[in-house]
């Protein structure tokens, strides 16, 4: 006999049961009790059909009629209570599983290094998280309801059929091997169809995200028609994949309807002849055929079980494939803290390349004096941003060492190293929320006086006072409700509040108009006061007041003054 799932699917599914279903065993047991009640009452309702026909229609007993009506009411009430309990319990368990899976995905995402995010579009993570979470929940729910409600109901109803007439029960069950054989071909096709659907959905999300975030460029370059064409193709592919899945699933209906019709026809002919020629009780015949008809729906759901489960397991496999990707940022909390007293920086014979490519930094050595400002200049691709990445432990050099106050940061834990830096980039990133909440990210424990001082030094108050909601103004996605200069000043205030001994400035004023640039420069001067400053600059006026200039070219230091 073939296993329910292929080995490639079985392993992740069993792991899912261990990690997500096992913690909810007590709740699942309670759900099974509810499903057993549903199955038992369903079987008893079919069984009562014998007495209803015999006592009411043949014997015409009014007392039996009242008794049977009461029994039907009680059984129906119990079945309703069981259905309610099962639905509530499984929904709560399912929500817990979705939450657990989402948190595990996000936690593993945070452990990835910068290179991981460089290689994938952000909407891929969003689409994966939604698809994986619903797939994990759906896979477990599919199994639980199949074994619990559907299988138990079929067992109860088949028991009624066997008790009433074993020969008819055996004959009606002959359709099952035919149904299983017909469904095997559909099961093999489902995973590919589901994967195509996910890929198409992710592409629709990507195009929507890019259009929303790049709407100004899109309209400026007249790209509406191009994006409409791309979106039309992506939506058509998604619709085609969905239709394909629906077609595969729908093919179970004619198969089961036809086979079910054959079974009922057999029962009508055979059972009818038994009543007509062999004096079988009409009640037993009606009880049997009622049980058969009531069993039809759970049997149909069981027939689709493997089909649905294999579709869900695409997301489950994707989940564990993602979790098994090596975390680039492993837990290094056992390493000692970086202790910054002065803030001098040393690069000693550092060689670094991205994934076995040509070296971006080729045996470079330099020092940044504590409390001084040093500018890194040179053409794009010369290694300036890579130096920042190495300082913040986004990457690790293949050889050489990066030292702060004489301490090799490779031997210090990542959190303490990053705590040493205040960073302000060219495109100041703001999170969804208010101006206040974005600034407070620098130090969530900062006092009102410290907050006010940072905002004053960064010249944030100059524009906030003109806003209706002041510091409680929402900044919008990526801070797009603020101008470039305003975002920069918020970022500077955030860095000031952090009180980091070393400041990293990545072209922090290059994209600003003269008036905004002047305000930002004054804010940066406040930020730099008493701190070590390392800046990336292209324009001479940006680094004119730097204490030292290091010029890079093709990953080497060409000049240092």
If asked whether residues 69 and 192 sit together in one domain, one would say: yes
| Region for 355 from its dihedrals, namely left if φ exceeds 0, alpha if ψ lies in -120 to 50, beta otherwise | left
- The DSSP call for residue 433 is S
Radius of gyration of the chain (CA): 35
Q: Is position 335 within any domain?
A: no
Beta bridge partners of 404: 345, 407
Cβ atoms within 10 Å of 477's Cβ, excluding its own: 12
Q: Is position 144 within any domain?
A: yes
Q: Is position 4 within any domain?
A: no
How far apart are alpha carbons 259 and 512 in whole angstroms?
Answer: 74
What domain range is 57 assigned to?
10-323
Among residues 423, 422, 391, 368, which one has the least CA distance to residue 550? 368
Return the pLDDT at 7. 47
How far apart are alpha carbons 415 and 142 in whole angstroms?
Answer: 42
- The DSSP call for residue 496 is H
How far apart are alpha carbons 432 and 480 in whole angstroms?
Answer: 10
Note the residue count of the chain: 561
Residues 6+ apart with CB under 8 A from 98: 133, 134, 136, 137
Return the pLDDT at 182. 58
Q: Is position 491 within any domain?
A: yes
Q: Is position 214 within any domain?
A: yes
Q: What is the CATH number of the domain that holds 352?
A: 3.40.50.300
* Last residue within a domain, chosen from 276, 292, 323: 323
- Mean pLDDT by runs of 10 across the 561 residues of the chain is 49 86 90 91 86 76 83 89 90 88 83 71 72 84 83 85 79 64 63 76 76 68 79 83 74 66 70 70 78 78 76 83 81 89 91 81 89 87 87 89 92 90 82 89 89 85 86 81 84 84 80 66 74 83 80 82 63
Which of helix, strand or coil describes residue 499?
A: coil
Cβ atoms of 487 and 428 within 8 Å: the answer is yes
Quick: pLDDT tens for 231-255. 888 888 878 877 877 777 666 666 6
Q: What is the CATH number of the domain that holds 19?
A: 1.20.1560.10
Q: Is position 381 within any domain?
A: yes
Parallel, antiparallel or unpaired: strands 421-424 and 502-506: parallel
Residues 6+ apart with CB under 8 A from 108: 322, 323, 325, 327
If asked whether residues 357 and 315 sit together in one domain, one would say: no
Return the pLDDT at 3. 43
Among residues 437, 435, 520, which one has the least CA distance to residue 470? 435
Helices 282-323, 122-145: crossing angle, 10 deg rounding: 150
Beta bridge partners of 536: 376, 506
Return the pLDDT at 1. 36
If asked whether residues 354 and 313 sit together in one domain, one would say: no
Q: How far is CA 260 from the centre of its chain?
A: 40
Among residues 8, 305, 7, 18, which one has the least CA distance to residue 144? 305
If asked whether residues 361 and 269 sit together in one domain, one would say: no
If asked whether residues 123 and 25 sit together in one domain, one would say: yes
Tokens of 56: 């009411």
* Predicted TM-score (pTM) of this structure: 0.71
* Last residue within a domain, chosen from 289, 323, 357: 323
Handedness of CA 105, 107, 112, 113 (dihedral sign): positive
């Amino acid at each position: 006999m073939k296993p329910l799932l292929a080995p490639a699917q079985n392993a992740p599914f069993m792991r899912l049961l261990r990690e997500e279903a096992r913690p909810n065993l007590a709740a699942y047991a309670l759900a099974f009790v509810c499903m057993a009640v549903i199955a038992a009452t369903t079987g008893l309702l079919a069984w009562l059909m014998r007495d209803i026909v015999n006592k009411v229609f043949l014997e015409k007993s009014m007392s039996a009629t009242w008794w049977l009506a009461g029994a039907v009411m009680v059984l129906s009430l119990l079945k309703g209570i069981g259905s309610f309990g099962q639905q509530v319990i499984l929904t709560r368990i399912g929500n817990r599983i979705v939450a657990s899976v989402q948190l595990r995905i996000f936690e593993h995402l945070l452990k990835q290094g910068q290179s991981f995010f460089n290689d994938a579009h952000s909407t891929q993570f969003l689409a994966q998280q939604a698809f994986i979470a619903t797939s994990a929940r759906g896979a477990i729910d599919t199994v639980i309801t199949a074994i619990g409600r559907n299988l138990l109901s079929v067992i109860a109803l088949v028991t009624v059929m066997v008790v009433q007439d074993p020969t008819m029960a055996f004959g009606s069950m002959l359709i099952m091997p035919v149904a299983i054989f017909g469904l095997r071909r559909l099961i093999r096709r489902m995973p590919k169809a589901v994967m195509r659907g996910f890929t198409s959905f992710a592409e629709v999300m990507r195009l929507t995200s890019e259009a929303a975030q790049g709407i100004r460029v899109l309209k400026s370059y007249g790209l509406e028609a191009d994006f409409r064409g791309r979106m039309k193709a992506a939506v058509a592919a998604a619709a085609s994949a969905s239709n394909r899945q629906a077609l595969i699933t729908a093919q179970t209906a004619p198969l089961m309807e036809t086979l079910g019709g054959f079974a009922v026809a057999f029962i009508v002919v055979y059972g009818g002849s038994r009543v007509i020629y062999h004096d079988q009780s009409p009640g037993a015949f009606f009880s049997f055929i009622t049980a058969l008809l009531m069993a039809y729906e759970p049997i149909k759901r069981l027939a689709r079980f493997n089909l649905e489960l294999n579709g869900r397991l695409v997301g489950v496999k994707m989940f564990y494939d993602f979790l098994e990707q090596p975390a680039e940022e492993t837990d290094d909390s056992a390493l000692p803290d970086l202790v910054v007293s002065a803030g001098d920086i040393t690069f000693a014979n550092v060689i670094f390349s991205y994934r076995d490519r040509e070296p971006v930094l080729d045996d470079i050595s330099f020092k940044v004096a504590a409390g001084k400002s040093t500018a890194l200049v040179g053409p794009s691709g010369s290694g300036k941003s890579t130096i920042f990445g190495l300082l913040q432990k986004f990457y690790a050099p293949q050889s050489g060492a990066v030292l702060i106050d004489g301490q090799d940061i490779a031997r210090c834990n990542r959190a303490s190293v990053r705590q040493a830096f205040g960073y302000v980039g060219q495109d100041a990133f703001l999170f969804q929320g208010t101006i206040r909440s974005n600034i407070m990210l620098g130090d969530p424990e900062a006092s009102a006086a410290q907050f006010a001082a940072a905002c004053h030094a960064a010249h944030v108050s100059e524009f906030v006072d003109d806003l209706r909601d002041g510091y409680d103004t929402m900044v919008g996605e990526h801070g797009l409700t603020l101008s470039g200069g305003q975002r920069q000043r918020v970022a500077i205030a955030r860095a000031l509040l952090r009180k980091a001994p070393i400041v990293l400035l990545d072209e922090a004023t290059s994209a600003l108009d003269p008036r905004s640039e002047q305000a930002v420069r004054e804010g940066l001067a406040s930020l730099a006061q008493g701190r070590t400053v390392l800046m990336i600059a292209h324009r001479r006026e940006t680094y004119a007041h730097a204490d030292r200039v290091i010029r890079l070219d093709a990953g080497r230091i060409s000049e240092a003054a």
